[in-house]
Structure 1
Amino acid sequence: MNPMRLTGPEASVIKYDLLTALSVAGLNGSPTLQTTLMRLIAAVTARYNWRADELTVGQRDLARMWSVNERTVKREIKRLLDGKILICKRGGVRGRVAAYQLNYDEIAKLSEPCWCLVGPDFDLRMKGRYQGQSTVKIVQLSDYTKPAETEDAAVQSAPGTWQRAMARLAKENADQFNAWFSQLKYTSFDQGILRLRAPSKFAQRYIETHLMRPLVSAVEAELGPITRIEFEA
C-alpha cells in the first residue's frame, strides 16, 4: 500500500477498515491470536506514525501499555514478525528504538475469510482495496492434473491423491483455498499420519484453529482415514 494514501482524504476509512480487519481476524482466531492482535491494535491506535508508515515504540513503553513484562513484549513482536504481520524496517541497535511497518498484504490475507462477517459493504471495500495488490500465490487447478514428481510412491497408489484432495478444497471454497490451502506443501502420508509444511507458523496456527475440518474431510475422501496431522518446520 502507498503510505501517502494513509494521510490523504480517504485515510480515516482505510485506517478504520484496517483495524476492523485485525479485530475480526483476532475474534475468529485462537485465544493466542486474539491476545496478540489486541495488543497490536492498541499499539497501532496509540502510536503508529501513519505518515512515516512505521511503529517506533520502545519495549518498556509497550510493556507498560500492554500491562506485561518486556520478555512478553519480545515474544509478541517475534510472533508478529514470524507471522509477517509486522516488517522490521530498522533494528533496535545502540540504544535506538526499532521501527516496524504493518504488512498490509499479509493482514489482508489473514483477515479475508472474515470480511464477509462484518458486512457486504466492508467486504466489497476490502476486496477492491487489497485483492489487486495481494502477493498470495494462486494455484491453478491445472497444477493438480498430474502428480508432483517428488510425491511419495505410497500416496500414488492410495485411493486418490493429495492433488485431488486439494482440488476438492478449491471447488468447495476457492477464496479459502487460495488464501490458505494452496500454500501447503505435502510431505508424506503413512499409517494415518499426514505430514505437511505450512508457509509460516502463523498460517499453520490459523489452519489448525480454523480450517482443520474441511482439510481433514477432503484428504480422508481421497487418501483414507487420518489419525493426526503433523506440520513440519
Structure 2
Amino acid sequence: MLSPRAVGRNAAARKYDLITALGAYALARDKNDHRLTLRLITLVTARYNWARDELAVGQREIARLWSVDERTVKREMAKLRARGWLVVRRQGARGRVTEYSMDIDRILETTREDWPRVGPDFEHRMQGEPAPDRVVPMPLRGSVPAPDVGDGSEWQLAQAILHAEDPGIYGSWLRALVRSERAGGRLVLRAPSRFHGAYVQSNLMPRVLAACQDIDSDVAEVVIIV
C-alpha cells in the first residue's frame, strides 16, 4: 500500500489523495462519522504542518475554526486519538499547546474499503500499483494487426470494428478481452486482470457495446469478468 507522506516529490498530489480518501470515507458513513471526519479534514487543510508532520493548534483556535465550543473540541479530539488518526507527540503544558501528528497508515487502513468509490485509478495508485498509462503501453497507430475474424463470432467482428476505429486503444485494452459466453442479450468478456477489466468498464464500455450492437442488435449488455 502506498503511504502518501506529503513530503518530497509529488507531495501535493499525495495530500490530495489523503484528503480524498477521508472524504470518500466520510460520505459513506452516518452523520456522526461524517461530521468528525469533516472536522479533521478542515483542521488538517488549514493548520497541518506537512513538512514537520505536526499539528500544533490551541483548542480556542480549533473551536473558532469548527464553530463549536472548547468542550466540543476536547471531545472530538479525544475521538480522533481513540481512532488512532491523531497521535500526541508532546502534551501541552505551561501555556504550550499539545502537538499531534497524523498516523497516515492507520487512516489509509480505515478508509481502504472506500477507495473504489473514487475510481480504479485512485484505488491502484493508493495501493502503490502503476498508473494505467504504465500498465499497458499504447502501441503506435498502424502497428497493431487486425484481429482474426475466422470464427465469425459477434465479439471477433466487433473487435474488427474497434480496431478500425482506433488501433491504439484496441491494442492496449480491447485485444486482450476474450469472449467467455453469451446468454440471450448478455455478452460476457474475460479480462486478463482486475485492473484491466475495471479500466475498460469505466472508460471504454460505451464504445465496446456500440461495436457489438453494430454486429448484433440483440446484444443488450456487455459484462467484463476476470
Normalised TM-score (structure 1): 0.53
- Assess, with a 3 A threshold, how the Cα gap between structure 1 residues 31 and 5 changes in structure 2: closer, same or farther: closer
Cα deviation, 1:157-180, whole Å, max 9, x if unaligned, reads xxxxxxxxxxxxxxxxxxxxxxxx
Is residue 26–residue 38 contact of structure 2 (8 Å, CA) maintained in 1? yes
CA distance in 1, matches of 2:34, 2:106: 16
The answer to whether the Cα contact below 8 Å between 2:55 and 2:99 also exists between their aligned partners in 1 is yes
2:11 corresponds to: 11
CA distance in 2, matches of 1:5, 1:78: 24
| 1:99 corresponds to | 99
Q: Is the 8 A contact 1:80 1:86 kept in 2?
A: yes
CA distance in 2, matches of 1:82, 1:127: 25
Counterpart position of 2:32: 32
* Cα displacement (A) at 1:9: 2.0
- In the alignment, the residues of structure 2 paired with residue 6 and residue 24 of structure 1 have an alpha-carbon distance, to the nearest angstrom, of 19
The residue type equivalent to 2:8 in the other structure is: G
* Partner of residue 57, structure 1: 57
- What residue in structure 2 maps to residue 123 of structure 1? 123
Letter in 1 for 2:30: S
Q: Does residue 79 of structure 1 match 2:68? A: no
Aligned residues: 129
Across the aligned residues of Structure 1 and Structure 2, the Cα RMSD in angstroms comes to 2.1
CA apart distance, 1:100: 0.8
Please identify the structure whose Cα radius of gyration is greater: 2
Asked whether the 8 Å contact 2:4–2:18 carries over to 1, the reply is no
Output the CA distance in 1 between the equivalents of 2:30 and 2:90: 30
Relative distance call for 1:103 and 1:127 in structure 2 (3 A) is: same
CA offset at residue 32 of structure 1?
0.8
CA apart distance, 1:4: 10
* TM-score normalised over the length of structure 2: 0.54
Alpha-carbon separation, structure 2, partners of 1:69 and 1:88: 21
CA distance in 2, matches of 1:102, 1:71: 22
Corresponding residue number in structure 1 for 2:220: none
| Secondary structure of 1:107 counterpart | helix
The 8 Å contact of residues 48 and 55 in structure 1, kept in 2 or not, is answered as yes
- For 1:114 and 1:45, how far apart are their aligned partners in 2? 21
SS in 1 for 2:94: coil
Query: Which ranges of structure 1 fall in alignment gaps of 5 or more residues?
Result: 130-233
- Structure 2 distance, partners of 1:39, 1:23, is 11
CA contact (8 A) 2:4 2:17 kept: no
Question: 2:46 maps to what in 1?
Answer: 46
Higher relative contact order (CA 8 A, sep 6+): 1
- Per the TM alignment, residue 5 of structure 1 is displaced from its structure 2 partner at its CA by 4.8
Q: What displacement does 1:7 show?
A: 2.6
| Paired position in structure 1 for 2:23 | 23
Q: Using the aligned pairs only, state the percent identity.
A: 48
Instruction: Please give the secondary structure, in 1, of the residue aligned with 2:127.
Output: helix
How far the C-alpha of 1:6 sits from its partner, in A, is 2.0
CA offsets per residue over residues 181-214 of structure 1, 9 Å max, x none?
xxxxxxxxxxxxxxxxxxxxxxxxxxxxxxxxxx
- In 2, Cα distance between equivalents of 1:78 and 1:27: 22
- The one-letter amino acid of 1:83's match is R
